Amino acid sequence: MTEAEDHAASTGESSTDQILTDQILTELSGDTLTVTLNRPEVRNAQTPQMWRTLASIARGVPSHVRFVLLTGSGVDFSAGLDRAVLADTGTDGMIAALQADATGFIEAAQEGFRAWQQIPQTVIAAVQGNVIGAGFQLALASDILIAEPNARFALRETAIGLVPDLGGTGALIDALGYRRTFALCATGDFLSASDAADAGLVHALHDDLAIGVADVCDRLRGIDAGAVSDVKRLLRQVASDRDSWKAEREIQVERLRVLFGQARS
């Protein structure tokens, strides 16, 4: 059992809700915890249960860890939301949960992404292939984003009548500005890895992600760990002055009312 899994067991909460050991892998090696989305058969498409797991893992990162590495198995980092959850019309499905309490559901989902911004460790996303929707927003929750040259990024929520609601809009506006972010979100067009790097969204491009991650970690290991953590805390606090998380929730709830056939309030 990894230390992250041991944390989940110690909470006394359901292991099914807390840690999907087959769909999200955790590996602790020295000062680095690697968290891997592991559903390559569906391009690492994500589910609400996986978001709960991500939040739980973030809460359980051991204090001696300096780096958390977010990765995806297979050819893609993540293709976003698993559309199968939208097809579940049962009473325990995602649609039913949204109809019952959309604000609460979205707020809980956001924790799987916000949590990586709140922990003191440096979070590095190493991505390849398609980085779409929830996958893009998970990558944007990192402190450092490293990509293979073949990576491509997109937010395609408007294709199903929704808006991005997992924390990515603030980071995108910071990097791309309002107009380019609007075009990206409204059209669902792809952003290439090279364009993302030119915009400052991606820290570095590497054919071998492991080498790129090692380079960054080696540089940061030579710097006082407390200072690096405090720089993260400072900059995240400055960035959070614009509460994009709340805005995303509120506007998404309005979208859901329209899609569910209810009038806007």
Domain ranges of the chain: 3-211+222-259
Give the CA angle between residues 80, 201, 225 to the nearest 5°.
100
Both tokens of 27, joined, read 């590996």
Greater model confidence, 90 or 129: 129
Round to whole Å and give the CA distance between 26 and 23.
10
For all residues of the chain together, what is the average pLDDT? 90
Q: Which amino acid is at 125?
A: A
Greater model confidence, 18 or 56: 56
Greater model confidence, 3 or 46: 46
Round to whole Å and give the CA distance between 45 and 23.
10
What pTM value is reported for the model? Answer: 0.88
Q: Cα dihedral angle (178, 115, 151, 37), rounded to 10 degrees? A: -150
Q: Which amino acid is at 128?
A: Q
Both tokens of 89, joined, read 């019309």
Greater model confidence, 21 or 162: 162
Q: What is the pLDDT of residues 154-166, one digit of tens each?
A: 999 999 999 999 9
Q: How far is CA 108 from CA 20, 101, 254, 258, in A?
A: 17, 11, 17, 21
Class of domain 3-211+222-259: alpha beta
Give the model's confidence band at 10: pLDDT under 50 very low, under 70 low, under 90 confident, else very high.
very low
